[in-house]
Amino acid sequence: MAFVGKKFPAITVNAMDSMGDTIKLNVFEEATKNNKKVCLFWYPKDFTFVCPTELHAFQAALGEFEKRNTMVIGASCDSAQVHFAWLTTAKDQGGIEGVTYPLLADTTRALSMELDILDYDMFSDEDNGGDNVTYRATYLIDETGTVFHESINHMPLGRNVNEYLRLIDAFSHVQNHGEVCPANWEEGKDAMKATPSGTAEYLATH
C-alpha cells in the first residue's frame, strides 16, 4: 500500500525514550500537534549488524534534522525492554549507547501491518509462530501528518541519511516557494517553475 499523499496512520504504539522510560507515541500526532516534520525509519531487529550503523548515522545527523524542524523516530518490532538493553550497550559492543531519539516498539505489529512492511519469512520460527520483522522502510511526514516520501530497502541495504535531509530540503522549498525541484536538486541550487503549457523553466533561487 502506498502512503505518499495520504495521512500517516494514527496508531499509538509503545516506545522507549532517551530517559529509559516506556511511553506511548503516535507519529501522526507528533507531527500535527507539534507542527513538525517527522522522519520515521524502520529497521529489522535490535542487536544485529547493519541496524546499529543506521541508528548511529541518524544520531550523528540529528542536529541537521532539528534545524529543519524535523523529528527523528526509529522503529522495530522489538519490545521497549529490548530497546532499553540495546540503548545501554556500548557502541564498541554492538550497542546504540548515545542514541537520544525515541524508538517505537511495535510488538503487536499493528502499525507495521497497516504499513505492509513486514517480511513474513525473515527470522521466522515455525515452533512459536514466527518472529516477523520489518524491511528498512522510511517515511517522511509533513506538519499535517501527510506522507511526502516513502521507501523500502531489503534487509542487507543500509540507508543514506543525507538523502533524507535532501528530500526534506526539497519538500520545504516546494512548500515555501511553490516551485518544483529537478533531479539531484540541493539547497541553494536552481529550482523550476511549472508553466501553464506543461513545461517548466529554471528559476534562480539564490
Domains of the chain, each with CATH number or no CATH: 12-159 (3.40.30.10)
Give the separation between CA 1 and CA 128, rounded to whole angstroms.
28
- Residue 120: band (very low, low, confident or very high) from pLDDT cuts 50, 70, 90: confident
By the 8 A CB rule, do 39 and 65 touch? yes
Of 91, 72, 76, residue with least CA distance to 13? 76
Asked if 83 contacts 105 with a C-beta cutoff of 8 angstroms, the reply is yes
Instruction: Tell me, yes or no, if 51 is annotated catalytic.
Output: yes
141-194 residue pLDDT tens: 999 999 999 999 999 999 999 999 999 999 999 999 988 988 998 888 888 887
The pTM for the full model equals 0.90
Which of 39, 51, 77, 181 is the catalytic position? 51
CA–CA distance, 42 with 53 (Å, rounded to integer)? 13
Angstrom distance (rounded) from CA 11 to CA 32? 14
Alpha helices in the chain (DSSP H): 27-34, 50-60, 62-67, 80-87, 110-115, 161-177
- Cα 50 from chain centre: 16
Residue 136's pLDDT band (cuts 50, 70, 90) = very high
